[in-house]
Structure 1
Amino acid sequence: MARFLLCSLLFWVTLGLLAQPGTAQVPGAPTPVGSGTTLEPGRLIFRLKPAYAAQARANGVAVTALQTALAGVGATSVQQKFPQAQEVASKRPGAVDLSLLYQVEFDRRLAPEKACQQLLLSGAVEYAEPRYSRQPLYLPNDPLADSTTASGQYYLKNIRAYRAWDVTQGDTSMVIGIIDGGTRYTHEDLASQIQYNRLDPIDGIDNDHDGYIDNYRGWDFADNDNDATREANSVHGILVAGCAAGAVNNGKGIAGVGFKCRFMPLKIYPSTPAGSFGGFEAIVYAADHGCQVINLSWGGEGGRSQFEQDIINYAAINHDVVIVAAAGNTNDDLDFYPASYNNVISVASLLPSDEKGTNATYSRRVDLSAPGLQILTTFGNNDSDYIAVGGSSFAAPLVAGAAALVRVRFPQFNAAQVAAQLRQTADNIYQLPGNTAYAGKLGAGRLNVLRAVALTDRHSARIMSSTITPARAAFLPGDALQLTAEVQNLLLPVTNLRITVTSLSPYLAVQQGTFTAGALATLQRATNSATPFRLDVAGTVPLNTSAVLRYHLEDAATGYQEDQYTTVLLNPDYVVLDANNLRLTLTSRGKLGYVTLNNSIGEGVRYKGGAPLLYEGGLLVATSPTRVSNNLRNNWPKADQSFYSLARATLRDQTVRADQEAYAVFRDSLPGDTRSRTVGVQVRQVAYAWAADPHRDYVILEYHLTNLTPDTLRPLHAGLFMDWDLAPDATRNTAGWDSTRALAYVYAPASPNLFVGVKHLVGGKPSVYSITDAPTAPVYLGNGFTTAEKFLSLSSGTRNATAGFPLGADVAQVTGAAIPRLAPHDSVVVAFAVLAAPSLAQLQTTAEAAQSRYSLLLPVRAPLAKAGIQLYPNPSNGRVQLVLPSSLGSARVQVISALGQVVLSQSVTSGASTLLNLTQQAAGIYVVQVATAAGVFSQRLAVQQ
């Protein structure tokens, strides 16, 4: 008689709490990314470009630029992530060379995204990413559920496991990698099922020379030792192991779906404070050590990682491993990792009725469903206890056990074919009332193990890869796209395979959506590269729309048909100005380059197709040390969210003043609604770009600021914060200031072949504040960017104009404008040019060209006549009279040439006529700017000699 132990509610609450990332943040603590996902501080992964493979070393890379970048982020350790994997790199299509992967330990005070950006600037890195920690998927069962009824393991009947065992009972040579929270070696239903590494007995020697000493009973990747015993507060790995591989026919406890198949316990959650999550390291180990099936009952929302996808591909493609993962317990339609990666069987959980589980994640990425409630399995508090549990954590190992049986039954199948067999033999559950709302989002149906091991007449093909042209992360309204797909036939031969693409979104139309691949033998591939699918994005699309495309694969002669899905992002919350050499991303809420701090949304700022130049940038508006509006970082990893969109950033179809024009409107809240933490302004943002010389190296950003409050804003500061990161070493940049041109600029003194900057064009008195990474500096970005620091950087004039001299540092700049006052409901225009050039001289010429273009072609705001100021004669022979009304007080006048040069600057006394002598200047158009206490007023002046 099996012995059962019912858990207390307190125990399950404890488990539930362990699964949730903490909300309190302390310096260097893990950072929540999404439910079940945290970001590890002071640790990142990078992949070396294949061209530098010869420079790869076990403890570093012999590439000078990369070594410099690593020193710049305070790297204390640079280690080849999988040195043992070099010998098993496969030549199969899509195989991954893990010898190019490195893990870096660096200064925990530095934002991981910032450190990744600096490594990318070396030019030797294919990608650099933070390390993510994925949590186990605990889901407490109802404590009143009766797990001791005669039904017992009801789910074995639901999935037809009993009858499947009449066909095959697996084999002890088939090993399932249980990558989880550890095991109990002595449990009566697990002890006989553990796969031992008899080539490396416990004797203190690495007998099999695999880099692991005494890995006889698995490995603990969290604490880096050979004891995979579960950690003190979790039995999750034991629960999972029982579902997949609990002993059968031993007269005790429960039966695992895998029957004779064994499991390898690989522990990935730490038992010591020094330990860390080791899930993906364990996947590589399992693949290298003979596991043909791997189960992953953990994960989280968000934080998609190319490193993690590479590891999945290494196991699935290089080593032909079937990878099964839990789809999550979110009760939402979303991507959940690692389940949503390619080459993973994503498993959703079902109720005993075969309807969607109450908390089950559902999506087009789900492949299969399995029971996930009241799953009776091994417990692990002693050697003979059992418990009923629930969640996708326990649906996944049922599929893993079934995959092991399929591999034994059909040894000729590769991993992709095993997955296809499981999908094609599943039972349709969409006719059930509880599932009709989730059509296509619970995978192919409910697992049927009997059909999976018995049927030999299945057909299945799969879209293995797809490419959209033009290659973009997201597509704009009106875009025309071409879609190329490669299909592979996985099971029985097909005679006339036809693929049809349809759009499930009204905002993406398929103009040509059929491809006849014809007859395909087993494992044969075909592509429609000669006649790609053609798609059109609608002219009007809601913001951030995910358009789903459905591939319908069909062979009429055999009756085979199957659906597969892919998603395309439309109308993102940003636009890219790319009419000239400077490619700039403009968002709908005042940020430049990227929408988010992790640089995952947006295309950055680049010059002539080079590396990203800007880590973070955006608009700052302030009127006091406590009233600052912006969407920039505050205390990493958080950011202020003062501005919200009223009209999203769009590219104008019909441009008036430039080759490319973008427009957006956003605002903050009234100070009374935010305890006086915001300014109370509305911002109309306009951007201009030109394609012809000499205007190809800049973009003009114009901000129309309107005072929404009942009070005069006195003073008002507005400016652009730009955290530039220039190659080859972002920690060795220098920030300068050209006061003649009101031009703030940054360059790398060790390699002065690229200069970037911001020029003040109009509005208020120019200011600049250059920031360095010194902890003793008045503004230090290493620990965030406080409201007081933001105001200081806007309001200090030009007293802190330079930084990083002479050798360079990690620098940033705030280029601003000081406006004396802005009356209620009045508006003022502030404009800047963002520029790049190969030298300082060329940058200065570009700045003058920007000033000229803005002064001559764009409308001059606040003309002199509006303030009662007289300027005559106009046109003039060079001798001009300026009359300032007594009501305006004294003023300062500047005359600016078509090249943006200030050719005259003098004080003006109110109530009298002042002569402006321009007789020594060339004939042409000039702009006269008069700065008064009431604002800055401008007017064009024609000089004729």
Structure 2
Amino acid sequence: MTLAAGAATAPPTVPGRLVLKLLPGRPATAVDAALRALGAHGRQQKFPRALAPCLEKRGSVNLRGIYQIEVPVTLSLERARIVLLGTGVVEYVEPLYIRMPQYQPNDPLADSTLTDLAASQYYLKQIQAYRAWDVTRGDSSIVIGITDSGVRLTHEDLRQQIKHNYADPINGRDDDGDGYVDNFTGWDLANNDNDPGYDIKIVHGTLVAGVATARTDNGVGIAGLGNRCRFLPLNIYPNTPTGYFAGVEAVVYAADHNCKVINMSWGAAGGYSRYEQDAMTYAAVNRDAVLVAAAGNTNADLQFYPASYDHVLSVSGVDNKDQKSPAATYGHRVDLVAPGLSILTTYGYHGTTPQGTADADYVAVGGTSFAAPLVAAAAALVRWRFPQFTADQVAAQLRQTTDNIDGLPANAAWATRLGTGRLNVLKALTQTSRQEARVLTSTLAPARPAYLPGDTIRLAVNVQNLLQPIAGLTVTLTALSPYITVRQGTFAAGNLAMLGRANNAGTPFRLAVATSGIPLNTTATLRYRLTAAGGYQSDQYLDIVLNPDYVVLNASDLAVTLTSRGNLAFDDLAGSVGLGLTYRGSGNILSEGGLLLATTPTRVSDRLRSSGGQARQSFFSLGQATRQQPGPRADQEVRAAFQDTIPVAGSRIRSVGMAVRQRAYAWSTPGRRDFVLLEYSLKNLTADTLKPLYAGLYTDWDLPTPDGGASNAAAWDSTRALGYTYALSQQSTSTLPASYAGVRLLRGGAPAVYSINNNAPAGTPVRLADGFSLAEKFLTLSSGTARAQRSAGLPSGADVSQVVGTRITRLAPGDSTTVTFALLVATSLPQLQAAADAARNAYATLLPTRPAALAEGFSVFPNPTSGPLQLELPARFGLVSVHVINALGQVVRAQAGSGNLARLNLAGLAPGVYTVRAQGTAGVRTRAVMVH
């Protein structure tokens, strides 16, 4: 199991294209209806000829259920996921990532210490290639798939090494019936043609092919480590306007066309993809291909894909002295290393042979791109030497026969993070008594992208012995992080024959996450130590993420993610940070949500979508969101604090200038399970009185409908100040528990609501198809209830969103005000309205001294306060006295007054809620005040 959490920022993606995978045996009719609702089209089966899963090959996958779809470039990934997963027949929806070649030019002028090495293949001696060739030189039947840029097919050291497909000669027909016309010399997957040849813009493929398979014994050039083994050129980079990156497609193509080894000298940090993992598993398990990938040139410890996927040998680089290459990636996901600096290889850019044959030149290059094909070529030799080995066994043989380099002083900083050592081809071909047991899968329960303080975890593993029989195998789990305690960490797997398996599903490992003190977004490493009789020992590692910068409020039937910066459901537009909002075990139903503040069309603060697929970043955290269970007032309570930037005269800052303290409450008791309360204390940090201040919640609900179309509509209940979204066809099914969802304003000033059709045509006042501008956000907050009767989505339903807010008449410098909302989900409108009423009653119990109705014209600020308090009353109120009363009814402050203004000092009072009672000639007014 590979966890993506904690990895680097995701790589770029192909615009306007997604992939989805259908669950086995499910009809696609609902998916097609969902695609129409999204404006998507072109559902095309990615791998129609892929080999079906085989029961005898445990872990094999089905690629035939994967489809590529064309989508509007403005469609968000999370929106597509919600709608398509809501059909109940889709396993996953993902982008197509673009992975780049891992090539670093290695000029003598850039590093003079490498000048002597650049003119020779020093690395062949370093990895014992010459002696290895005395054992075997491989065979032309062993083919290495070079998935890369195009290759110079006419190069003198490559042209005789190409594996041709004689079953499909160049004649305009698909003679072998594999779906590719005239794929005689590989294929160009990126541009969908039969020319995988050289592109002058990218020479990378030629360089990689030479390292692995350059012709030997031809009296010219260099010798590829693969010797007699051949290569299949597969271009993965576009050179036409309609082309796109096709690394994954090339891997599947290579596996389907009998490549026993596949090299991937490309990749990117982060961007874990189940689609890509499925393709790797298919090639390795279904098709029994050895997958080799460059670990990357990052000089960092991180997840790098495809190298970090399961079933892939991750290869990092060293220099001629076995010292880690300066730029090479390191970490527990690296399997082994190979020379990766000053690697002399085929170039094919300038020269010609005396006979005039194009491109006979050579160049010394560096990067893990050229360490990987050395390992791929070694794998090809091992496959020929041990034809009975599976792909996993070939990988194990390579890992277990390396030369350990951790003991070198220069590598001390990277000990245990350079894999098992540096490739030794001779050992790989001659040492037949090696053992390797390996954890094949790790299953965490509950399965989450990250774990919160106090969580408990079960971990089940599946172990296989890959090489010689092993006796008394024991797997011991150790936490290499102080924030995880292993409560049960031993699994006796026993004696295992070659390819024997064992698992601990019945008695899994048990872990506990620390309850406090964990830094935000901590990656915790777990180590599996596998030991057996005779001194065998090997280590594997598993990373999990702890204490993410969000909390989940889940005491009620709603489980909602609250971030430290004002967002709901997710902390990013991609929906990758956070667990969303679910109801009674449903899938996520809120694609985006969060706090929205404004005072003018150019002064708006939020972390919501803006334009170009980006989000604004107005708010920054003042402290991590924390969850208390039970809380003093509810079964669960959350606290968070954040603020935006304070505008300065003449600056271009377009924020409001507000400090926000957020509180949230949830209950597990009957009658209070359909809502959570969100309370925001807003403090004016500027030197100006904000006249007025607008505050609201934006929610982009996506309630599922039976046909998968997410045909929603938005409406307004004026008697409750309740804005809500509903699924138009919810009456026709009882299997969709979340049919209504909304937001009720419980505390603040004058209510506001604005319902939005997300796919509204050009000319609409708020049109999200081209972004959500500051002016549009201000409009949604400042329109009051003028659009209350303009329901969005009717009559046939649409993708809708809504803003429910409030207008605070004025907020003086340093003053505070409080606005409170209820977030609600229900199965029917009466239930939603009942939940809204229950939320009002629940909030009243939080502040028991709050009057049933606030007197018009009576203002107190700042509220909450740490001491100073100012009262403003109607002009003819005739103030006589002011009393401050605690929750026990006791008067704790009193002073005389006159006119309509008064100032008090509540410093010294215990934190809590008090009632301020103003006695005047015109009557009595009371307000609730919180002292902190």
TM-score tier after normalising by the smaller chain length: 0.7 to 0.9
**Is 1:129–1:307's contact at 8 Å kept on the other side of the alignment?**
yes
How far is the alpha carbon of 1:643 from its aligned partner?
0.9
Task: Show structure 1 runs of 5+ residues with no match.
Answer: 1-32, 56-60, 871-882, 891-909, 912-926, 931-935, 941-945
Amino acid at match of 1:743: L
User: Does residue 645 of structure 1 match 2:621?
Assistant: yes
1:336-485 superposed matches below 5 A: 336-381=304-349, 382-485=358-461
The equivalent of 2:530 in structure 1 is 553
Distance 1:741 1:884, change over 3 A: same
Change (3 A) 1:684 1:334: same
User: Is the Cα contact below 8 Å between 2:147 and 2:264 reproduced in 1?
Assistant: yes
Task: Work out which of the residue numbers 272, 277, 297 in structure 1 matches 2:245.
Answer: 277
Indicate if the aligned counterparts of 1:733 and 1:810 stay in contact, CA closer than 8 A: yes
Q: 3-state SS of the aligned residue for 1:798?
A: coil
Of 75, 84, 92 in structure 2, the residue corresponding to residue 119 of structure 1 is 84
Q: How does 1:304-703 map to 2 (within 5 A)?
A: 304-381=272-349, 382-540=358-516, 541-555=518-532, 557-672=533-648, 675-703=652-680
CA offset at residue 365 of structure 1?
0.9
> Quick one: distance in 2 between partners of 1:88 and 1:474?
31
Say if 1:730 and 1:847 are closer, same or farther in 2 by CA, change over 3 A: farther
Given the alignment, which residue of 82, 94, 99 partners 1:134? 99
> Which residue pairs with 1:778 in the alignment?
765
Alignment CA distance shift 1:856-1:427 (3 Å): same
TM-score, length basis structure 1:
0.86
In the alignment, is the contact (CA less than 8 A) between 1:35 and 1:300 conserved in 2?
no
Distance 1:831 1:35, change over 3 A: closer
- Tell me, what secondary structure is at the counterpart of 1:568? strand
**Following TM superposition, by how much is the alpha carbon of 1:91 offset from its aligned partner in structure 2, in angstroms?**
4.7
Contact 1:631 1:643 survives alignment (8 Å): yes
Q: Following the alignment from structure 2 to structure 1, what is the Cα–Cα distance between the partners of residues 118 and 638?
A: 68
SS at match of 1:71: helix
Residues 172, 768 of structure 1: CA spacing in aligned structure 2 closer, same or farther, 3 A cutoff? same
2:891 is aligned to none
- What letter matches 1:716 in structure 2? L
Q: 1:590 to 1:610 in 2, by over 3 A?
A: same
Q: How many residues align?
A: 848
Aligned residue number for residue 92 of structure 1 = 57
Aligned to 1:82, the other structure's residue is in SS state coil
Change (3 A) 1:653 1:695: closer
Pair 1:747-2:723 in alignment: no
Q: 1:150 to 1:745 in 2, by over 3 A?
A: closer
Partner of 2:209: 241
Is 1:827 aligned with 2:813?
no
Task: Write the mapping of 1:158-197 to structure 2, written as runs, cut at 5 A.
Answer: 158-197=126-165
RMSD: 2.5
- Aligned partners of 1:151 and 1:268: how far apart in 2? 30
Among candidates 267, 278, 292, match of residue 299 of structure 1: 267
**Pair 1:796 & 2:783 matched:** yes
Q: CA offset at residue 607 of structure 1?
A: 1.1
Tell me, in whole angstroms, the C-alpha distance in 1 between the residues paired with 2:658 and 2:563.
18
CA deviation map 1:225-260 (0-9, x unaligned): 111112230110010000111111111111111111
| Unaligned residue ranges in structure 2 (runs of 5+) | 1-6, 350-357, 860-871, 880-898, 901-914, 919-924
Secondary structure at the residue paired with 2:91? Answer: strand
Q: 2:370 aligns to what SS in structure 1? A: helix
CA contact (8 A) 1:322 1:419 kept: yes
Give secondary structure in 1 for the equivalent of 2:160.
helix
* Counterpart-to-counterpart distance in 2, 1:364 and 1:730: 43
Which stretch has the larger CA shift, 88-97 or 716-725? 88-97
1:86 Cα deviation after fit = 5.1
Alpha-carbon contact 2:268-2:304 (below 8 Å) kept = yes
Cα distance in 2 between the residues matched to 1:201 and 1:937 = 92
TM-superposed CA distance for 1:866, in Å, is 11
- Mapped to 2, the partners of 1:352 and 1:624 lie a distance apart of 64
Going from structure 1 to structure 2, the CA distance change for 1:135 and 1:36 (only over 3 Å counts) comes to farther
TM-superposed CA distance for 1:781, in Å, is: 1.0
Does the C-alpha gap of structure 1 residues 519 and 806 become closer, same or farther in structure 2, counting only changes over 3 Å?
Answer: same
Give the counterpart letter for 2:96 in structure 1: R
The DSSP-based 3-state class of the residue aligned with 2:212 is helix
CA pair 580-314 structure 1, distance change in 2 beyond 3 A: same
C-alpha separation in 2, matches of 1:839 and 1:266: 55
Alignment of 1:846-865 (within 5 A): 846-859=835-848
In structure 2, the CA distance between the partners of 1:735 and 1:863, relative to structure 1 (3 Å rule), is closer
C-alpha distance 887-231 of structure 1, shift in aligned 2 (>3 A): farther
The CA distance in 2 between the partners of 1:553 and 1:87, in whole Å, is 33
Match of 2:20 among 46, 70, 75: 46
Relative to structure 1, the CA distance from residue 188 to residue 887 in structure 2 (aligned partners, 3 Å threshold; closer, same or farther) is: farther
Give the Å deviation of 1:677.
1.1
Corresponding residue for 2:883?
none
Within the candidate set 819, 830, 846, 1:841 is matched to 830
Amino acid of the structure 1 residue aligned with 2:839: A
SS in 2 for 1:103: strand
Letter in 1 for 2:155: H
Q: Which amino acid aligns with 1:332?
A: A
CA positional deviation for 1:860: 5.5
Residue 920 of structure 1 is matched in structure 2 by none
CA displacement, residues 40-60 of structure 1 (integer Å, 9 cap, x when unaligned): 1110000001141xx3xxxxx
Q: Which residue identity lines up with residue 760 of structure 2 in the other structure? A: A
**1:43–1:112: 8 Å Cα contact kept in structure 2?**
no
- Any idea what SS the aligned residue of 2:730 has? coil
d(CA) in 1 for partners of 2:441, 2:117: 48
**d(CA) in 2 for partners of 1:36, 1:838:** 37
How big is each residue's C-alpha offset from its partner over 1:567-621, in whole Å with a ceiling of 9 and x where there is no partner?
Answer: 1111111111111211111111100001111101111111111121111101111
Measure the CA separation in 1 of the matches of 2:599 and 2:878. 23
Q: Is the 8 A contact 1:232 1:271 kept in 2?
A: no
Match of 2:749 in 1: 764
Cα pair 1:483 1:534 within 8 Å, conserved: yes
Q: Which residue of 788, 793, 811 maps to 2:800?
A: 811
Shift in Å at residue 884 of structure 1?
Answer: 5.7
Of residues 460-469 and 724-733 in structure 1, the stretch that sits farther from structure 2 once superposed is 724-733
Q: Within 1, Cα distance between the matches of 2:554 and 2:573?
A: 22
CA deviations over 1:631-689 (Å, ceiling 9, x no partner): 11111321111111112111114411111111111111111296341111111111111
One-letter identity of the residue aligned with 1:197: N
Give the aligned partner of residue 875 of structure 2.
886
Shift of 1:481: 2.1
Contact 1:712 1:821 in 2 (8 A): yes
Task: Give, in whole Å, the separation in 1 of the partners of 2:447 and 2:19.
Answer: 25
Deviates more, 1:190-199 or 1:435-444: 435-444
What is the CA–CA distance in structure 2 between the aligned matches of 1:123 and 1:34, rounded to whole Å? 31
CA–CA distance in structure 2, aligned partners of residues 180 and 590 of structure 1: 43
Change (3 A) 1:799 1:863: closer
Residues 53, 60 of structure 2: 8 Å contact kept: no
Partner of 1:706: 683
For 1:460-494, what per-residue CA distance to the aligned partner results, in whole angstroms no more than 9, with x for missing partners? Answer: 01001112223322211122222221111111111
* Bigger mean CA deviation after superposition, 498-507 or 387-396: 498-507
* Change beyond 3 A, Cα 1:402–1:629: same
